[in-house]
Amino acid sequence: MLSLGSGCLVLALGVALYGIAASLYGARGRAGAGSRAWVDSGRRAVYATAGVVLVAFGVLEAAFLRSDFALSVVADHSSTTTPTFYRATAVWSSQEGSLLLWVVLLGLWSSLMLFLTRRRAREVAPYATAVLLGFAVFFLSLLVFLENPFDRAQTVVAEGAGLNPLLRHPSMMIHPPMLYSGYTLFAVPFAFAVGALITRRLDAEWIRLTRPFTLAAWFFLGCGILLGARWSYTELGWGGYWAWDPVENASLMPWLIGTAFLHSVMIQEKRGMLKIWNVSLVLATGVLAILGTFLVRSGILNSIHAFGASTLGVPFLILIGAMIAGSVALVLSRASDLRSDARLDSLLSREAVFLLNNLVLVGLCFVIFWGTFFPLISEAVTGNEASVGPPWFDRYIVPLSLILVLLSGIGPVVAWRRATAANLRRNLARPGAVGVLALVVLLLAGVSGSVGALLMFALAAFVFAAVGQELWRGVRARRAMSSDSVPRALVSLVQRNRRRYGGYLVHVGVAVLFAGVAASSAFQDARDVQLQVGQSAKVGGYDLTYVRPTSKLEAASNGRLEKIDLGAVMRVSRGGKQVGTLRTERSFFPSADPTLGPVSRFFEGEATSEVGLRAGLRRDVWSAISPSVRDLRKQVAEGDRVFNGAKALPPVQRDIALAEALSGLTRSYTVNPPAATFRLIVSPLVSWIWIGALIVFAGGLIALWPPLRRAPRPVAARYAARVARELGRA
C-alpha cells in the first residue's frame, strides 16, 4: 500500500510536468489545428494530477487511521490511543502531510476552475494551467525528493509518539485546511493574471472568471486566521488572541492584499481604471501566499510555531524569487497594455475612496512585512539580528486601522465618479454627528485612558450610522418605485445589489471587530497571582476566589493512563454577589523518556491549559492555573518508589500499582494543595471580536452569492429600449 503512495507522488510529478509542456505547446499554436487538442490534454493533466495526488492522500490517511507505524510520519505524529478524529487530522500536523494537503487542495481548485472555464478564456487558460501545474511540480518535487510522507521507519515501533496535546482541539484541526484552502485558492487568480499578462488580454475577463475563487480564498483565509486567534485565546495559557507572531502575520498579509484586490477590481470592471494596481495586487497576493507557506514551514524566523529548521528554506526562496522577478518583468513589459481607460474624475468619488483604501491596506501590509522580516533585514543591514515587538506594531497599525474604518464608513455614502460636494457634506453630517455623540457619551461615562480606543469606538458608531442611513435611504428609494412593505423592500434591495449591501455588512462587521479589539487591548486588566485555597484576587472589578482544588486521572481508550488533570474551582463575584464559577485546570501528559520514573514521567512531558472562561457580551473573565508541581516533588518521588517496588509483578498488577500510586498523588493534591499560580484576566468586549468576524463572513457570503439570473425584465427592457431608441435618433 505504501509503495502505491510513493508511486502516485512520482506519477503525479510526471503528469504535472507533461501538463505544463502540453499546455505551453498548444498555447503557442505551433501544432496548427491540433493545438486545441494539446491544450485540452494539458487541462486533463490537471485533473489527472489532482486525482493521483488524492489517491496518495487517501493512502496516507488510511495509514494514519490504521496506525500503521511502518511509516515514520505516522509513528511520529499519532498513536493507537489517539481518538479517530485526531488520527485522521494528524496527517497535516506533520511537515510532509501538510505539503501533501497543499497539493491536494491546489489540484482540487485548479481542476474546478479549469473545468468551469473549459470553453472560455481560450487564450489565457493554457498559460494559467502551466502556472498552476508549476506550483504542483514545485510542491511535488519537495514531497518526492525532500519530505516524502511515505518514508519507512527504520525500526517499527509498537506505539507512536501521539499528537501534540496542544493540537488536540477541533479548531486546531480545521485551521490548517482553511488556511491552505485560502492560499491555494489565491493561486487561481494569480495564474490567470499571469496568463492574461502573457497574452495581453488585459480587459476584465480574467477578473470576472476568477472572482468566485478570489472571494472563496478571502473567505477561507479569513476563517483560518480567525480560528487561530480564537484557539489562542480559549486554549492557550496566555490569554491573548494575537501576538504579531511571524506565522500569524504570514497569513494576515495575503489576506489584507486580497481585500485590497477585491475592492480595487470593482473599479476596473466599472471604468477600466487601476489596471496596473489590480495585476500588481493579485500577483502580490500570490507571492505573499507562498511566502506565508514558506515562513511557516522553513523555520527561518523565531516563532512560537517554529516547526524546526528544515531543508525547505532554500527551495522556497528560489520559488518566491522567481515569482517576484517574473511578476515585475511581466507588469513592466505590459505597461502599455495596462493603461487606464478613464481617469479619476474627482477626489470626492467612490473611486478615490477605493484608491485610498488600496493605499491603507498596502500600508498595513508593509508595516507587518517590515516588522516580521526585521530580524533578517537588520542582520543584513547592521550585521546584528534584532527584532521589534508588539508595541512597535501597534504604533503604526492603530492609526492605519483608524483610517481604514473611517474610509469604510465614507465609502458607502459617496457616489461613483463624482459626488456633489454639498450632498456629500449633507450625507456625512448625520453619521458624523452620531460618531461625535458616541465620543462625548463615552467621555462623560468616564471612559478614558486610550485615545486610540475612544476614536475607534467613535468611528465604529460612525460606520453603523452611515450604513444604517444607506439602508434606510435605499429602502425609501425602493418603496418609491415599487410600493413594497419595508421588509420586502429591504430584502429586494439587498437581493438586487448583493455585492453592495453584502459589502456594507462586511464593513459593519469590521467596525464591530475593531471596536472589540480596541476595548480588549486598551481596557484589559490582567494579573498573575499566587493564591492559597480560600484566597482572592481583585481583577477588573471582580473578586476571584480560589475555592477548592480539583484533580483527576484520565484514561485513554485502551485503558492506559492518558493524563493527570490538576486544577481549581474559582468563584467569581462582583460587589459581594456571586456571579459565576470558573473551572480551570492543567493537564499533564507523560513524557516518553524511559529513564524517568513512571510517576515523574507525567510532570516532565507536555502540559496544556484548560482555560476557565466566562464569556459575556460586556466582558470576559478568563483564568488559567499553573499548579506548583515542584511542591509535589516529594509525593512524586514517593510514587516512583512505590511503583519501582511493584516492578517485578505481572503487568495487570503493575498497572494497578501504577494507578494506586497516581491516585495517591491526586488525593494528596486535593487534601493538601500547595499554593497555585493563576493568570487572571478581565477583558471588555472580547466577544464582539468573534461576533464582528461572523458579521464579516455573513456579509461576505451575501456578496459572494451568485446574483439573480435575470435582472428584472421591465427595468432592463426599459433602459435597453431607451438606449436603442436614442441610438436610432443619433
Partner 1 sequence: MARTETCGHNGGVDPARKRKLRFVIALSCALLLASALIYTSFSASSEARTPSQLAAAAKPGRVYELTGKVQPGSISSRGTTHRFRVRDREGHVSIPVSYTGALPDPFRDGREIVVDVRKRGATFVGERDTLVTKCPSKFTAEKKT
Partner 2 sequence: MDVLLVLVVLAVVVFVVSRPLRGGHAEAVEASESAQRAGLEAAKEAKYAEIRDAELDHRMGKLSEEDWRAQDRTLRAEAMEVLRRLDELGPED
Which residues bind to partner 2, rule: CB under 8 A? 1-4, 7-8, 11, 15, 18-19, 34, 36-38, 40-41, 44-45, 47-48, 51-52, 55, 118-123, 203-205, 208, 269-270, 413-420, 422-424, 426-427, 470, 473-474, 476-477, 480, 497, 711, 715-716, 719-720, 722-724, 726-727, 730
Binding partner at 237 among partner 2, partner 1, none, C-beta below 5 to 8 Å by kind: partner 1
Closer CB to partner 1, 29 or 237, in the complex: 237
CB 333 to partner 2: min, Å: 22
Closer CB to partner 1, 31 or 592, in the complex: 592
Residue from 389, 541, 707, 712 that binds partner 1 (CB under 8 A)? 389
Q: Return the HEC string of 617-637.
A: CCEEEEEEEEECHHHHHHHHH
Determine the 3-state secondary structure of 578 from DSSP.
Answer: strand
**In this structure, which long-range contacts are made by residues 59-62, counting pairs with CB atoms below 8 Å and at least 24 apart in sequence?**
59/1, 59/2, 59/4, 59/5, 59/8, 59/150, 60/5, 60/91, 60/97, 60/100, 60/149, 60/150, 61/88, 61/91, 62/1
Select from 84-92, 212-220, 563-571, 601-609 the region that touches partner 1 (CB under 8 A): 601-609
Binding partner at 151 among partner 1, partner 2, none, C-beta below 5 to 8 Å by kind: none
Binding partner at 574 among partner 1, partner 2, none, C-beta below 5 to 8 Å by kind: none
Return the amino acid letter for 379.
Answer: E
Which residues are CB-neighbours of 133 under 8 A, at least 6 positions away? 16, 17, 19, 20, 23, 42, 45, 46, 49, 110
Which residues are CB-neighbours of 313 under 8 A, at least 6 positions away? 294, 298, 299, 300
Quote the CA–CA distance of 73 and 727 in Å, as a whole number: 70
CB 466 to partner 1: min, Å: 24
Q: How long, in residues, is the chain? A: 730
For position 10 contacting partner 1 by CB under 8 A, the verdict is: no
Quote the CA–CA distance of 117 and 95 in Å, as a whole number: 33
Which residues are CB-neighbours of 35 under 8 A, at least 6 positions away? 25, 26, 27, 28, 29
Binding partner at 205 among partner 2, partner 1, none, C-beta below 5 to 8 Å by kind: partner 2
CB 277 to partner 2: min, Å: 18
Strands 542-555 and 561-574: antiparallel
DSSP string, 30-47: TTGGGHHHHHHHHHHHHH
Closer CB to partner 1, 320 or 344, in the complex: 344
For position 72 contacting partner 1 by CB under 8 A, the verdict is: yes
Binding partner at 648 among partner 1, partner 2, none, C-beta below 5 to 8 Å by kind: none
How many residues line the site for partner 1 (CB under 8 A)? 66
The three cell numbers locating residue 125: 487558460
Which residues are CB-neighbours of 584 under 8 A, at least 6 positions away? 567, 568, 570, 609, 610, 611, 612, 623, 624, 625, 678
CB 147 to partner 2: min, Å: 20
CB 291 to partner 1: min, Å: 19
Of 287, 293, 286, nearest to 310 by C-alpha is 293
CB 558 to partner 1: min, Å: 21
For position 396 contacting partner 1 by CB under 8 A, the verdict is: yes
Binding partner at 28 among partner 2, partner 1, none, C-beta below 5 to 8 Å by kind: none
Quote the CA–CA distance of 513 and 459 in Å, as a whole number: 12
Quote the CA–CA distance of 2 and 9 in Å, as a whole number: 11
Binding partner at 543 among partner 1, partner 2, none, C-beta below 5 to 8 Å by kind: none
Binding partner at 44 among partner 1, partner 2, none, C-beta below 5 to 8 Å by kind: partner 2
For position 529 contacting partner 1 by CB under 8 A, the verdict is: yes
For position 367 contacting partner 1 by CB under 8 A, the verdict is: yes
Binding partner at 347 among partner 2, partner 1, none, C-beta below 5 to 8 Å by kind: partner 1
Strands 612-614 and 619-627: antiparallel
As a whole number of angstroms, the longest Cα–Cα distance in the chain is: 107
Alpha-carbon dihedral sign for residues 251, 253, 257, 260: positive
For position 169 contacting partner 1 by CB under 8 A, the verdict is: no
Bridge-partner residues for 568, per DSSP?
549, 584
Of 168, 261, 258, 171, nearest to 221 by C-alpha is 258
In the shown chain, the binding pattern of residues 469 to 508 toward partner 1, with x for contact by CB under 8 A and - for none, equals ----------------------------------------
Determine the 3-state secondary structure of 465 from DSSP.
Answer: helix
Residue from 630, 647, 709, 713 that binds partner 1 (CB under 8 A)? 630
Residue ranges in 254-273 that form contacts with partner 1 under rule CB under 8 A:
272
For position 388 contacting partner 1 by CB under 8 A, the verdict is: yes
Closer CB to partner 1, 164 or 469, in the complex: 164
Quote the CA–CA distance of 577 and 68 in Å, as a whole number: 56
Residue from 607, 661, 685, 703 that binds partner 1 (CB under 8 A)? 607
Closer CB to partner 2, 656 or 724, in the complex: 724
- Do residues 405 and 364 touch, judged by C-beta distance below 8 A? no
- Do residues 634 and 573 touch, judged by C-beta distance below 8 A? no
Of 700, 708, 706, 707, nearest to 217 by C-alpha is 700
CB 305 to partner 1: min, Å: 6
For position 67 contacting partner 1 by CB under 8 A, the verdict is: no
Select from 14-22, 248-256, 337-345, 714-722 the region that touches partner 1 (CB under 8 A): 337-345
Residue ranges in 219-248 that form contacts with partner 1 under rule CB under 8 A:
236-238, 245
DSSP string, 218-231: HHHHHHHHHHHHHH
Determine the 3-state secondary structure of 188 from DSSP.
Answer: helix
Residue from 346, 450, 469, 573 that binds partner 1 (CB under 8 A)? 346
Report phi then psi at 126, rounded to 5: -60, -40
Q: What does DSSP assign to residue 594?
A: T
Residue from 675, 698, 701, 704 that binds partner 1 (CB under 8 A)? 675
CB 344 to partner 2: min, Å: 15
For position 164 contacting partner 1 by CB under 8 A, the verdict is: yes
Closer CB to partner 2, 486 or 711, in the complex: 711
For position 687 contacting partner 1 by CB under 8 A, the verdict is: no
- The CA distances from residue 625 to 80, 237, 345, 590, 632, in Å, are 30, 8, 60, 19, 15
Select from 41-49, 134-142, 359-367, 632-640 the region that touches partner 1 (CB under 8 A): 359-367
CB 134 to partner 1: min, Å: 27
For position 302 contacting partner 1 by CB under 8 A, the verdict is: yes
CB 150 to partner 1: min, Å: 15
Per CB under 8 A, residues contacting partner 1 are: 72-73, 76-77, 94-95, 161, 164, 166, 236-238, 245, 272, 302-310, 341-347, 359, 363, 366-367, 370-371, 374-375, 378, 382, 384-389, 391-392, 395-396, 418, 528-530, 604, 606-609, 624, 626, 628, 630, 675, 677, 679
